[in-house]
Structure 1
Amino acid sequence: MLAYAFRRVLSAIPIALIAVTVCFFILRLAPGGPFDGERALPPTVLANLRAHYSLDQPLIMQYFIYVGRLLQGDLGPSMVIDGFRVADLIRIGFPFTLTLALYAFVIATAIGIVAGMLSAVYQNKWPDYVMVLVVMIGVVIPNFLNAALLQLVFGVHLGWLPAGGWVSGSVAHLVLPVTVLAWPHAARISRLMRGSMIEVLGSNYVRTARAKGLGERLVLARHAIKPALLPVVSYLGPGLSYLLTGSLAVEQIFGLPGIGKYFVTAALNRDYGIVLGTTILYMFIILALNLIVDLVYAWLDPKVRYR
């Protein structure tokens, strides 16, 4: 298992380099730049700024300079937020983003697994139809629209919850953002769990367990849940990465102090350092989560052997 993990890490290095290269050139070749504002800077000031951030160098030289700094663990400075480096901004905003995503991940995973199990047990009955309807709503409505609707209903008209902003230690300010993030994730997990559980419940060993007189709860606990979780486990790694990236837009909508506000502002202002640094951070998180999922999958299914 350790040898497999080591090989996966080595195989991820060229993938990471290709991703960094593509993101670098796409961002630099896009129209505009970090110093193109409504008010034009004096030529001397603009030239000094471009020289300070190595933007006066040929594009290929800028790439090699950036990769060289990246290999030393330096994500570079922010070109728009004066006095801050990209690592500093990530250190400030990412803990909140991670906390928000983990809350949504735990809640959505638990709800999705339970809902999928109940939907499979009561297949083609009214609980199944209700849960399928709720699942479809969570999948069809995009996050930004769902956030606006919840803000309007529960934050403005009913006034039950804060419509935005953040107060340290306030759980109420997290309810709507976590709901927006968790709903699609729970919907996808419940669909996977329902389909997998239906297949497992129709298998020969489950029918044999029932024929031996085991109760339905015992059959589910001993024989059905663990194999039915395999497709769900495969999704959990990418699912958490979706929550982390999806939280960027949710944080911007609800005015939360995560990394999302830095990323969106940087994308609009062509702050190359923050956009690239955030992209690299999420890329490595996705690679790490996929590796963890593979190892957990092997633990759940003894038949899986990595050669």
Structure 2
Amino acid sequence: MLAYALRRVLSAIPVALIAVTACFFILRLAPGGPFDAERALPANILRNLRAAYDLDQPLIVQYFLYLGRLLQGDLGPSMVVQDFTVSQLLALGLPFSIMLGLTAFVIATAIGLLAGMVAAVTQNKWPDYVLVLVVMIGVIVPNFLMGSLLQLVFGVYLKWLPAGGWRAGSIAHLILPITVLAWPHAARISRLMRGSMIEVLGSNYVRTARAKGLGQRLVLARHAIKPALIPVVSYLGPGLSYLLTGSLIVEQIFGLPGIGKYFINAALNRDYGLVLGTVVLYMALILVLNLLVDLAYAWLDPKVRYR
């Protein structure tokens, strides 16, 4: 298992380098810059600012300078937010973003697994049809539209929940954002679980277990759930990555104090350091999560380790 994990880590290094390189050059080649404000700066001040952030160097030199600092764990300073480094800004917003994403992940995974099993057991009956309808709504409607609709209905018209903002310790301010994040994730998991469970329930060993007189609960618990989880587990890593990155937009919609507000403002203001730092952070999270999912997949299906 250790050798398998080491191979996965080594194979992720080129992917990470390609992602950082692509993001760096796309940002630098995009129109505009961090010091292009409505009021033009004097030439000497602009020249000094560009020199302070190495923007006066050739593009390839800037790339290797950034890569060298990145290898030392230095994400650099923010070019727009004064007196803050990128690491400090990410440290301010990351705990809230992780809390929001993990809460939505746990809730969505539990609901998705349960809904998928219920839909599989009641295949082609009314609970299956209702769950499929709810699932399709979660998959089709994008989170920014879903967030706006929930704000309008429950925050403005009904006034049951806060439409936005954040107050420390207030669970009510988290209900709508978590719902927006969790719904598509739960929908995808339930679809995967339903299809996998239907296939497992139709397998020979499950029919044999039923023929021996085992009840439905014992068949599900002993023979069906674990093999049915294999395709679901393969989605959990990308699914959690989706929740963490999708929370950027949701945080902006609901005015929450996560990384989202820093990332969106940095992208609009061409804050190269903060945008790159956010991309590097989420890329590292995605690679770690995918590694954990691969290890879990190898545990569920030992044949994977020997391929």
Shorter-chain TM-score range: over 0.9
2:301 aligns with: 301
Given the alignment of the two structures, is residue 247 of structure 1 paired with residue 244 of structure 2, yes or no?
no
5 Å matches for 1:26-65? 26-65=26-65
1:159 aligns with: 159
- Separation of aligned partners in 2, 1:122 and 1:162: 37
1:109 aligns with: 109
5 Å matches for 1:214-293? 214-293=214-293
Q: Aligned-pair distance for 1:13?
A: 1.2
- Separation of aligned partners in 2, 1:303 and 1:13: 25
1:173 aligns with: 173
Q: Which amino acid in structure 2 is aligned with residue 171 of structure 1?
A: I
Q: Which amino acid in structure 2 is aligned with residue 74 of structure 1?
A: D
Q: Which amino acid in structure 2 is aligned with residue 246 of structure 1?
A: G
Given the alignment of the two structures, is residue 133 of structure 1 paired with residue 133 of structure 2, yes or no?
yes
Q: Which amino acid in structure 1 is aligned with residue 237 of structure 2?
A: G
Q: Would the aligned equivalents of 2:75 and 2:86 in 1 still touch at CA under 8 Å?
A: yes
Cα deviations across residues 194-224 of structure 1 (Å, max 9, x unaligned)? Answer: 0000000000000000000000111011100
1:185 aligns with: 185
Matched position secondary structure for 1:210: helix
Q: Aligned-pair distance for 1:34?
A: 0.3
Q: Would the aligned equivalents of 2:201 and 2:224 in 1 still touch at CA under 8 Å?
A: yes
2:21 aligns with: 21
Matched position secondary structure for 1:229: helix
Identity %: 81
Q: Aligned-pair distance for 1:19?
A: 1.0
Q: Aligned-pair distance for 1:259?
A: 0.3
Q: Which amino acid in structure 1 is aligned with residue 77 of structure 2?
A: P
Q: Which runs of 4+ in 1 moved over 4 A?
A: none
> Any gaps of 5 or more consecutive residues in structure 1?
none
Cα deviations across residues 84-126 of structure 1 (Å, max 9, x unaligned)? Answer: 0000011110110000000000000000000000000000000
Cα deviations across residues 120-168 of structure 1 (Å, max 9, x unaligned)? Answer: 0000000000000000000000000000000000000000100000000
Q: Aligned-pair distance for 1:8?
A: 1.3
- Separation of aligned partners in 2, 1:210 and 1:66: 62
Matched position secondary structure for 1:23: helix
Cα deviations across residues 25-45 of structure 1 (Å, max 9, x unaligned)? Answer: 000000000000111111111
Q: Would the aligned equivalents of 2:4 and 2:305 in 1 still touch at CA under 8 Å?
A: no
- Separation of aligned partners in 1, 2:174 and 2:304: 39
- Separation of aligned partners in 1, 2:10 and 2:301: 25
TM-score, with length taken from structure 1? 0.99
> Any gaps of 5 or more consecutive residues in structure 2?
none
CA RMSD between the two structures:
0.7
